[in-house]
Amino acid sequence: MTSHVTLHGAMTFRAILQRRFTLAILMIMPVAFYFVSSDTVGRAIRSLVFGVSWALSTVAFFASISARQLDPRLELAGWKRSHLLAGRLLGLVVLGALLTAGFGLLVAVDQDVASLAGVLLDFAVTSVVAIGLGTAIGSLLSRELEGTLVLFFFAGLQAIVNPFDTYSRALPFWSSRELGTYAVDGAEAGSLVEGLTHAAATLGVCAVIVLAAARRPSFD
């Protein structure tokens, strides 16, 4: 099991890296947003968080779409569907870890933040939630345009809504704003526990969607 998961994780990671132009755009966008707003710590961090959520959820969505064509053939070759899903998620988590480290280094060098560990936690949690959301949307929608628009809707709406409004908690990336507020403004402005709880709940919903979709036949 471990070898199959690791191998498929490596395959997923290499496949993502092969889409160099798309990957470059997705990586450059958050950095561009960051430098536009780098004069204010809070805005700069939130710009990177928005970029992480948009980039990784989109990459996870495309990985799920690609898996619809590749996974059935691997299943015929003896691979288990659960191993394929776990491997794909592993490759995406590695990408998220690299992105978190890179953006964390940028913040450490360029910004005077109260809690760098809190910022890194925000990036890491956002990465995992984005991967879960992108994978869930990919399991529901088969067309790239519709899925990309749905993801942009969630990421864009999260960037402009007031995080203190009750309805904003229904958005998948509310935890990112809460953890970012905690890291930048302190415990009196944001809650670490509430942010992590919301992220866990969001991942739970995504997991239910992905596992339900995985029960469908491989060949439609």
pLDDT for the residue numbered 19:
74
Q: Which residue has the higher pLDDT, 209 or 77?
A: 209
Contact present, 52 and 119 (Cβ < 8 Å): no
For the segment 169-189, the average pLDDT, to the nearest whole number, is: 83
For the segment 138-149, the average pLDDT, to the nearest whole number, is: 83
Residue 1 banded pLDDT, cuts 50, 70, 90: low
Residue 220 banded pLDDT, cuts 50, 70, 90: very low
pTM above 0.85, yes or no: yes
Residue 216 banded pLDDT, cuts 50, 70, 90: low
Tally of CA atoms within 13 A in the half-sphere of 25 that contains its CB? 5
pLDDT for the residue numbered 41:
82
Highest mean pLDDT range out of 10-24, 33-47, 90-104, 154-168?
90-104
Task: Report d(CA 41, CA 139) in Å as an integer.
Answer: 36
- Alpha helices for 38-190 (secondary structure H): 41-76, 81-110, 116-140, 144-160, 174-185
